[in-house]
Amino acid sequence: MVVAVVVGLLTAVPGLADVRRRFEHASVGWLLLAIAAELGSVLSYRRPAGQLGLGTPKVRAMAERTPLSKRDPRENQMSKQEFVTRIEQAPLLDRLADPLTAAVRNALPAGPLKDGLSGTWLGHPLHPLLTDVPIGAWTSSLMLDAVGGRESRRAADRLIAIGILAALPTAATGIADWGDTQPKERRVGLVHAVANTTALALFSGSLLARRRGRRTRGIVFSLAGAGALGAGGYLGGHLTFALGLGVDRTAFASPPTDWTDAIAENDVSESELAHATVNGVGAVLTRYEGEVVALADRCTHRGAPLHEGTLCDGAIVCPWHQSIFRLADGTIVQGPATRPAPRFEVRVRAGRVELRAARQLSSAR
Ligand code: FES
């Protein structure tokens, strides 16, 4: 509320015409934000039950809460985690998420289009990279609304349009990734998509309002869109940093750097995939052109056990989403994986296969 008062005083002082112009519309947005913050603060303050005069038990429970500023930070952090955990564990969301992801998998089978959207050609998932464009464009537009003045209005509107255009390929890459998710990720991904679609709709409404000359309404739409965008971004961050979506599933493995006994040589044949564990790291082994070869058993994409996959033309096909890795060096023939399969060096001593991490791949990580 203090911000709104300061802005209001600034816009009222005679002689500050330039300041007034700059904050002409931004002040409306700030005022709405301040009112929303004040309402949130009122609802979150500890008060005797029923003091607000709002009679439902739910509202009384809200009135009992301690203000965020007086809470233990760990409690605040827990409430956010609880919120996301509830999304992760809401099987109700499966009713929508399961058929939708199945439709995505049918529409986007493994192949060049899927690889293009997944970022196989880039060596990293493409979706997080593209999200910078709509987020950056819409955030910059809000900045221009706030401090750019009348002369920046056209630029602000164009940035919103750029964000809308960029949101379409961004959504396409996100949908491609979402098709290959496990239940927890799938549920959070669904809510993430709903939040971002809401943001897209609100910024589209903002652009429409601005085109019709209703600038104040457009700014209000933008602010609401920024809120939805923030919620979507938070969940997107959770998908990556908490659930590891898009992270190379072998990134934290520590394969042995010294020769380590793995399996009897006779247990490795040309036509089958064998499994062994060295230093707690799984390896998938077979013979290729007469030589024993070994790759990390976890698929770099979503962690599938590659020894449950199939052999095809000197490569392993992942059993979950059909990424294909060359036996000779672990490089990708087909995505959606974006990182090669780490390779082991192999030697045979007295009928036993010994493995150690291949130097070039372990140092590349
Ligand atoms: S886990 Fe997805 S391609 Fe292997």
CATH code for the domain in which residue 355 is found: 2.102.10.10
Is there a contact between 150 and 21 (Cβ–Cβ < 8 Å)? yes
Domain boundary among 207, 241, 275: 241
Same domain, 167 and 292: no
198 or 6, which is more confident: 198
Same domain, 226 and 307: no
Distance 180 CA to ligand 1 centre (A): 8
CA distance 210 to 219: 8
What's the pLDDT band for 287 if we cut at 50, 70, 90? Answer: very high
Same domain, 81 and 131: no
Same domain, 118 and 212: yes
pLDDT of residue 50: 38
Same domain, 301 and 351: yes
Structural domain boundaries enclosing 312: 260-364
Residue 268 within any structural domain of the chain: yes
Domain boundary among 88, 123, 155: 88
Residue 95 within any structural domain of the chain: no
SS3 13: coil
SS3 10: helix
261: CB partners within 8 A, 6+ apart: 278, 352, 353, 354
Domain count, the chain: 3
Q: What is the mean pLDDT of residues 334-345?
A: 96
Average pLDDT for the chain? 84
End-to-end distance of the chain based on CA atoms, in angstroms? 49
Residue 357 within any structural domain of the chain: yes
Q: Is the CB of 358 under 6 A from ligand 1?
A: no
C-alpha pair distances (Å), 259 with each of 136, 256, 281, 355: 49, 7, 13, 5
Task: Tell the residue number behind the tokens 């900045």, with chain if given.
Answer: 143
pLDDT of residue 78: 62
Residue 26 within any structural domain of the chain: yes
Locate 194 and state its tokens. 């709903």
Residue 183, preceding peptide bond in cis (omega within 30° of 0): no
Is there a contact between 149 and 22 (Cβ–Cβ < 8 Å)? yes
Same domain, 264 and 286: yes
**DSSP-derived pairing of the beta strands 332-334 and 343-349:** unpaired
Same domain, 20 and 160: yes
Express each pLDDT in 311-323 by its tens digit.
999 999 999 999 9
Residue nearest to atom 1 of ligand 1 (CA): 302
Locate 93 and state its tokens. 């969301």
Q: What is the mean pLDDT of residues 257-284?
A: 95
- Percentage, residues of the chain above pLDDT 90: 73
Q: What is the mean pLDDT of residues 201-212?
A: 96
- Enter the DSSP assignment of 152: G
Mutational test site, ligand 1, from 250, 307, 318, 333, max ligand atoms within 8 Å of CB:
318
276: phi then psi, degrees, rounded to nearest 5: -145, 165
Look at residue 236 and tell me whether its pLDDT is greater than 50.
Answer: yes
Q: Is the CB of 184 under 6 A from ligand 1?
A: no
199: CB partners within 8 A, 6+ apart: 138, 225, 226, 228, 229, 232
Same domain, 360 and 342: yes
Same domain, 218 and 328: no
CA distance 36 to 30: 10
- Ligand 1 atom having least distance to the Cα of 322: 3
Residue 352 within any structural domain of the chain: yes
263: CB partners within 8 A, 6+ apart: 274, 276, 285, 352, 353
- Enter the DSSP assignment of 321: T
pLDDT of residue 305: 97
CA distance 15 to 13: 6
Q: Is the CB of 341 under 6 A from ligand 1?
A: no
Same domain, 305 and 286: yes
Distance 262 CA to ligand 1 centre (A): 24
Same domain, 306 and 195: no
Task: Tell the residue number behind the tokens 């009928």, with chain if given.
Answer: 351
Residue nearest to atom 2 of ligand 1 (CA): 321
Mutational test site, ligand 1, from 118, 323, 334, max ligand atoms within 8 Å of CB:
323
Same domain, 266 and 221: no
Q: Is the CB of 323 under 6 A from ligand 1?
A: yes
Q: Is the CB of 339 under 6 A from ligand 1?
A: no
Domain boundary among 88, 116, 148: 88
Q: What's the distance, CA 285 to chain centroid?
A: 33
Residue 27 within any structural domain of the chain: yes
64: phi then psi, degrees, rounded to nearest 5: -75, -15
DSSP structure string for 176-208 = HHHTT--HHHHHHHHHHHHHHHHHHHHHHHHHH
Torsion of CA 328, 331, 335, 338, to 10 degrees: 150
pLDDT of residue 81: 79
Residue 248 within any structural domain of the chain: no
CA distance 116 to 105: 15
Residue 264 within any structural domain of the chain: yes
